[in-house]
Amino acid sequence: MLLITTLDKTESTNVYLQNLVQKKKKRDDNTLTIDIPEFYTVCANFQTNGRGQKENVWHADPEKNILLSTIIYPNIDAEQQFNVNMAITLGILDFCKKTISHKGFSIKWPNDIYYHDKKLGGILIEHSIMTNKIVYSIVGIGLNINQLDFPDYIPNPISASQICGISFQIEQCIRNLLSDIINRYTHGLKNQEKLKKEYLDSLYRFNKVNQFIYNQVPIFAKITDVNAYGMLCLTTNEGTKIECGFKEISYII
């Protein structure tokens, strides 16, 4: 049974859940337990300071979108943490394909959900690591569902309602989303080879020559892989191989 708390308003669901974890922590020698069930989820009708990767801010109108954070306990080595990202994003993609449209969706590295060339949502995963193991992860998800108007400073947004021309029931969407994520998370981490293949097959602009900005210089390159540390791997038209961290490269869309 899914345990979900819905808040009318909060600063950030990730911050709320992180604060709850601090209250529920129990330490015993070198072990750490947290008295919160896996996939306990906090949703918000509105966030006053929604967070994206690094310093990015997530904007969403009140009561129109999915804004949630959930806790998981991967119990895997820290070096495998990108497997969690792959499983979660593929679960979100499953939800999009089943609930919104069966085609047109992709994962834009490292943490965005795209419909063709427009952004439907984003993910923020924060890991807590101890003795080289992931003790727990807070997974924050924002998906545009019923919002129709967006601020001008958001470059390429889209919502599920704009795609389908209908309004969605947010509460049911949240339950469907969590169900699809749990399924991917439960099975995906057990078969890393299959997980990686499906992730690459779902990657935005994978294996196609496109223009990027790499360290402020325009290049033409092809995405060829994402390495074990989650870095984007590209090969330029000149044959140079590049491995990029977040903020080192941007897409020309």
β-strand 249-251 against 112-115: which pairing, if any? unpaired
**Phi and psi, residue 44, nearest 5°:** -135, 140
What tens digit of pLDDT does each residue of 143-175 get?
A: 999 999 998 888 899 999 999 999 999 999 999
Closest CA to 209 of 218, 194, 222, 193: 222
Tokens standing for 169? 């029931």
Query: What band does 54 get if pLDDT is binned at 50, 70 and 90?
Result: very low
pLDDT at residue 131, as a whole number: 87
58 pLDDT higher than 80: no
